[in-house]
Amino acid sequence: MAKQHLKDLTNNHSFFEDVWDVARQIPKGRVTSYGAIANYLGTKMSARMVGWAMGASVYAKPKVPAHRVVNRVGLLSGKMHFGNADEMQKRLEKEKIKIEKDMVVDFDKLFWDPAKELML
């Protein structure tokens, strides 16, 4: 999706703001998935839209820790949105999250489920 198109979406969809609000609550050293955020927001089938929101989060203020959102098995599937291929991994490793072959090590242990952690 083109960056300008993503910027246009952020101006028109409060869904992106809802996604960013959830992502901002992910604690340092923890990760969640696109699907977990979608499920929490009551749109279980919208994981792809959550991914678009993460890609567009460069336009969000305050900042969004998009590096803490990975796919359902812990893969750094959004790493292309960070400018350089290693940036997402570097940010996670700075928070003491170990990454091997683009995967979060101990994903199940580090997984933060907004449906369990946040009150609706």
∠ CA 11-15-17, nearest 5°, is 65
Contact 37, 23 (CB under 8 A): yes
Round to whole Å and give the CA distance between 5 and 61: 18
At 14 the pLDDT is 87
What share of the chain has pLDDT > 90, as a percent? Answer: 78
At 1 the pLDDT is 45
Handedness of CA 6, 85, 95, 97 (dihedral sign): positive
What does the pLDDT look like over 7-16, one tens digit per residue? 555 554 589 9
User: Which tops the pLDDT comparison, 84 or 96?
Assistant: 96
- Burial of residue 52, with CB atoms counted within 10 A of its CB: 0-12 exposed, 13-18 middle, 19 or more buried: buried
Q: State pTM to two decimals.
A: 0.87
